Amino acid sequence: MTPPDQTPFPAEWPDPHAQLTLTSEGVHIWRANLDAAAQNLGPLEANLSEDEKSRAARFVFPKDRQRFIAARGILRQLLGDYLNRPAAGIEFTYGPQGKPRIRSENDDFPLQFNLSHSQAIAVFAFALRRELGIDVEAVRADFGGLEIAERYFSRQELEELRSLPVESQAESFFLCWTRKEAYVKARGGGLQIPLASFSVTLTPGQPDTLQSSDTFNWTLRSFQASHGFVGAVIGEGKGWRPSFWNWIPARG
């Protein structure tokens, strides 16, 4: 079991006032409002690859298309800032289960990243030489939690969820779901990792912990992405420090 650690639910996500430096001891977590970004999509869309533009065009509903463009455009903008290179020139490669990486002749490229979005809220995680997984979900009361939990959660998680008051089960379910998704994404295993093969805690306000065959390879931290949204990030190794930042659309 990972050592207990109070979850860093930030009261505020500060706006960066200068170019941020990513160190080997840190993990930078960014939050963005995709609908706000969609009000000025042009610069973000201009940085997308042809493949990303084709994927965007396949969305049926305009709002979904705009949010996809915004999420990928913001990712490229942030990567460009960290790498000090044009965002449009960044190329991605994808693992067997779809985990993205920066394409490079050197497979040991230092900058690692991961992203997730739910409705209009997107989160992005960046680190140096550290595998990452991040997930965000809107807490919804109509989620059919126990039925889904019985199918995908471990016995330990299911028992913990059932022991909680009904009024807190929705938040607990999504705390569990984001923590599990972050772990699967960090490992790059996708559906190859059965969700019931490992456990996380899920009681609101209690330390977030991970129980898995490789527990000591990872650190789990949860956060509140916005009102009504919960998130989790898992990073390889111990002792890293999370920093939370708010992405601001360029004025134009």
**CATH number for the domain running over 26-246:** 3.90.470.20
The residue written with tokens 């050592």 in the block is 3
Res 245 pLDDT > 70: yes
Q: For the residues 87-116, what does the mean pLDDT come to?
A: 87
pLDDT for the residue 144:
75
169-209 pLDDT, tens digit per residue, is 999 999 999 999 999 999 997 778 999 999 999 999 999 99
Res 11 pLDDT > 60: no
Total residues belonging to the chain: 252
Q: The dihedral of CA 111, 136, 87, 60: what is its sign?
A: positive
For the chain, percent of residues with pLDDT exceeding 90: 78
DSSP state letters, 176-211: HHHHHHHHHHHHT-GGGS-GGGSEE---TTSPP-EE
Contacts of 189 (CB under 8 A, 6+ apart): 97
Tell me the C-alpha distance between 134 and 185, whole Å. 7
57-83 pLDDT, tens digit per residue, is 999 999 999 999 999 999 999 999 999
pLDDT for the residue 10:
66
DSSP state letter for 2: P
pLDDT-wise least confident of 8-17, 28-37, 204-213 = 8-17
Tell me the C-alpha distance between 214 and 211, whole Å. 8
- For the chain, the domains span 26-246
pTM: 0.93
Tell me the C-alpha distance between 37 and 32, whole Å. 8
Is the separation of the CB atoms in 121 and 71 below 8 Å? no
pLDDT for the residue 12:
74
What's the token pair of residue 70?
């915004």
